[in-house]
């Protein structure tokens, strides 16, 4: 089966591939600004049908109780997707603007392989946990806790790492026994729609268990959130939109999982390899043009080494230019859209207006007349109260901030509405431990340590979200517990 849609992709509703009721909308290559095809454009009736199909599949089939069958389907999906790896990886570069080196990791093959982890969980999870005998009110009882699928999941996903985030939601939700309506971002519809095609044509998933709705209409997200047939809303995106999702879900007291923004700190201690740390900080922030919520975008360095840190970071960024994402060796590709490029450029201008200095970058790369490119940019001369140090930019922009010792570095890292990720570089283990213990964030790397994996829970403190995705904790987001007692 060839996956590349010649003209358009289709919706997956109740096990069938169907056109969108509103026709199609264009898919644009962000590196060239060329239209590369069309996606099915769903309307409210399409979404209503998808929610109804998911509700029926959950309420009237054995999907939620047949753990072995769910595991089989997830492994089928993993294996089928991997047979199309070359097609999906090429599309990830073309549709998302993702540098090709990332498609072998978090932009496709990594999250696809993670489906096997969740299949294993479905088979091996302790679905019933005995609590033993007790005598409440003097009456002997034997108790147990049963864990059951929560129901219908409305999954709303963004455009920056669509494969990783799509599978981080549908993998554990399906493994837990839920049924899913997946609504991807309009910027990257094929990443979801073509998974729906594989599900329909190459797996044994029952009709209605997974439904995929692509649409140019952002209002469908609201419709999905407020529908009383939906039991859980799992949303990844901006903190502002997350607030709206939470408010809308409150109408039905629908459970929400929210993975939101970040403004993570890369802390360099005074005993660290400064050049190595700054090079890693530069690499992190330009990867996929900085379009990642967990990317470290504040470089917090010893004040006495500030000038050397700026020089080392500037030199590293100079070797990581924004370029064609299909070109071998490219780390920084384009931004996803003209709108996103304008947002990033407005923050760079704001930094200048606030008195910041652009140490490198700050504009559009020479010779790139087409494509939504912004140069990797390093900003100095501002403290942590500046807007560019407090607000999520979502571009290849790094702000360097001096600290006056380990405790001050912790203070700066925590002086943020977010708490999603972070990094610390140093050599003294006690000092590193002190920093890791002190920074209030959901994930933390040490000296380049990589926390991302299927078994690692991901999520944040404060305005970075509610709940955890991936790992056993992420799987359990899609479960309800039921206590059962009977006389001994």
Domain co-membership, 350 together with 291: yes
CA distance 235 to 135: 43
pLDDT at 336 over 90: yes
- 40 and 196 Cβ atoms separated by less than 8 Å: no
Partners of 153 in beta bridges: 180, 232
Distance CA 274, CA 284 (A): 15
Residues facing 419 on adjacent strands = 461
- The residue from 94, 95, 109, 259 that is catalytic is 259
Same domain, yes or no: 177 and 283? no
In sequence order, the 6+-apart residues with CB closer than 8 A to the CB of 424 are: 267, 268, 269, 432, 435, 436, 439, 444, 445, 446, 447
pLDDT of residue 4: 65
| pLDDT at 461 (0 to 100) | 98
Do 59 and 179 reside in the same domain of the chain? yes
SS (H, E, C) 15-58: CEEECECCEEEEEECCCCCCEEEEEECCCHHHHHHHHHHHHHHH
Q: From the CB of residue 452, how many other CB atoms can be counted at a distance below 10 Å?
A: 16
455 within a domain of the structure (yes/no): no
CA dist 102 → 25, 96, 107, 451, 476 (Å) = 27, 11, 6, 16, 28
Same domain for 187 and 131: yes
Structure token pair of residue 278: 């700054």
pLDDT digits (tens, 9 = 90+) for 349-375: 999 999 999 999 999 999 999 999 999
1 within domain boundaries = no
277 and 334 both lie in a single domain? yes
Q: Using one digit for the tens of pLDDT, what is the confidence trace for 245-254? A: 999 999 999 9
CA distance to 293, 327, 365, 366, per residue, from 331 (Å): 17, 9, 14, 17
- Whole-angstrom Cα distance, residue 459 to residue 436? 16
Better-scored residue on pLDDT, 473 or 5: 473
- What whole-number distance in Å separates Cα of residue 417 and Cα of residue 440? 11
CA 155 to chain centre: 12
The average pLDDT across 266-275 equals: 98
Catalytic residue at 259? yes
Question: Is residue 338 located within the same domain as residue 479?
Answer: no
Q: Is residue 100 part of a domain?
A: yes
Q: Are residues 164 and 252 in the same domain?
A: yes
Question: Contact at 8 Å (CB) between 389 and 413?
Answer: no
b/e map 194-210, b = 16+ CB within 10 Å: bbbbbbbebbebbbbbb
In a domain, 402, yes or no: yes
Mean pLDDT of 153-167: 98
Same domain, 194 and 286: no
Q: What's the average model confidence in pLDDT over 395-406?
A: 98
227: phi then psi, degrees, rounded to nearest 5: -70, 125
Least confident of 4-18, 158-172, 292-306: 4-18
Average pLDDT of 8-29? 96
pLDDT category of residue 7 using cuts at 50, 70 and 90? low
Residue 293 sits in which domain range? Answer: 265-446
- Cβ–Cβ under 8 Å, residues 428 and 271: yes
- What average pLDDT does range 453-468 have in this prediction? 98
DSSP 464-478: TEES-BSHHHHHHTT
148 and 190 co-located in one domain: yes
The reply to whether 103 and 131 lie within a common domain is yes
Count the domains in the chain. 2
In a domain, 315, yes or no: yes
CATH number assigned to the domain comprising residue 431 = 3.40.309.10
Report pLDDT digits (tens) over 89-136. 999 999 999 999 999 999 999 999 999 999 999 999 999 999 999 999
How confident is the model at residue 9, as a pLDDT? 87
Alpha carbons 277 and 313: distance in angstroms, whole number:
9
Classify residue 216 by its DSSP letter: S
Looking at the fold, whether 228 and 297 belong to one and the same domain comes out as no
Residues near 367 by Cβ (< 8 Å), separated by ≥ 6?
A: none
**Together in a domain, 198 and 276:** no
> Is-contact 371 335, C-beta < 8 A?
no
Helix (H, G, I), strand (E, B) or coil at 449: coil
What percentage of the chain carries pLDDT values higher than 70? 98
In a domain, 456, yes or no: no
pLDDT band at 5 (very low <50, low <70, confident <90, very high): low
Residue 183 lies in a domain: yes
- Share the mean pLDDT of the chain: 97
Q: In whole angstroms, what is the distance from residue 400 CA to residue 355 CA?
A: 14
Identify the pLDDT of residue 281: 98
CATH number for 81? 3.40.605.10
Whether residue 403 is contained in a domain is answered as yes
Q: Render pLDDT for 235-244 as a digit per residue (tens, 0 to 9).
A: 999 999 999 9
């Amino acid at each position: 089966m060839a996956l590349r849609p010649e003209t358009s992709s289709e919706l997956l509703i109740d096990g069938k591939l169907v056109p969108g009721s509103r026709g199609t909308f264009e898919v644009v290559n962000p590196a060239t600004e060329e239209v590369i095809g069309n996606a099915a454009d769903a309307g409210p009736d399409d979404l209503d049908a998808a929610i109804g199909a998911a509700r029926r599949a959950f309420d009237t089939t054995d999907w939620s109780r047949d753990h072995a069958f769910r595991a089989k389907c997830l492994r089928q999906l993993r294996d089928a997707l991997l047979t199309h790896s070359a097609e999906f990886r090429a599309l990830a570069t073309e549709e998302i603007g993702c540098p090709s080196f990332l498609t072998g990791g978090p932009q496709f093959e990594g999250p696809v392989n993670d489906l096997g982890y969740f299949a294993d969980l479905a088979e091996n999870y302790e679905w019933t946990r005995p609590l033993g005998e007790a005598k409440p009110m003097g009456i002997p009882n034997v108790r147990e806790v049963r864990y059951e699928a929560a129901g219908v999941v409305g999954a709303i996903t963004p455009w920056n790492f669509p494969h990783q985030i799509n599978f981080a939601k549908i993998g554990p939700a399906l493994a837990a026994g839920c049924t899913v309506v997946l609504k991807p971002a309009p910027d990257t519809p094929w990443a979801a729609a073509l998974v729906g095609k594989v599900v329909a044509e190459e797996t044994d998933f029952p009709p209605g268990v997974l439904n995929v709705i692509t649409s140019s209409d952002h209002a469908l997200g609201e419709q999905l959130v407020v529908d009383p047939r939906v039991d859980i809303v799992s949303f990844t995106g901006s903190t502002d939109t997350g607030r709206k999702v939470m408010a809308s879900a409150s109408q039905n007291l629908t459970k929400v999982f929210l993975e939101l923004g970040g403004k993570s700190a890369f802390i360099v201690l005074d005993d660290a390899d400064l050049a190595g740390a700054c090079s890693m900080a530069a690499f992190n922030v330009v990867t996929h043009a900085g379009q990642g919520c967990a990317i470290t975008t504040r470089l917090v360095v010893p004040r006495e080494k500030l000038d050397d840190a700026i020089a080392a970071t500037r030199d590293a960024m100079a070797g990581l230019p924004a370029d064609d994402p299909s070109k071998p060796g490219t780390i920084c590709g384009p931004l996803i859209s003209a709108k996103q490029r304008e947002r990033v450029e407005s923050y760079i201008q704001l930094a200048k207006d606030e008195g910041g200095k652009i140490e490198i970058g700050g504009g559009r790369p020479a010779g790139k007349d087409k494509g939504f490119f912004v140069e990797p940019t390093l900003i100095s001369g501002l403290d942590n109260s500046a807007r560019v140090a407090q607000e999520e930019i979502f571009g290849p922009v790094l702000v360097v901030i001096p600290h006056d010792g380990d405790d001050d570095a912790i203070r700066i890292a925590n002086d943020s509405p977010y708490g999603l990720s972070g990094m610390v570089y140093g050599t003294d283990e006690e000092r590193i431990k002190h920093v890791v213990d002190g920074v209030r964030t959901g994930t933390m790397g040490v000296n380049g340590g990589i926390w991302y994996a299927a078994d690692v829970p991901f999520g944040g403190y404060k305005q970075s979200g509610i709940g955890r995705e991936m790992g056993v904790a992420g799987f359990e987001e899609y479960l309800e517990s039921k206590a059962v007692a009977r006389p001994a």
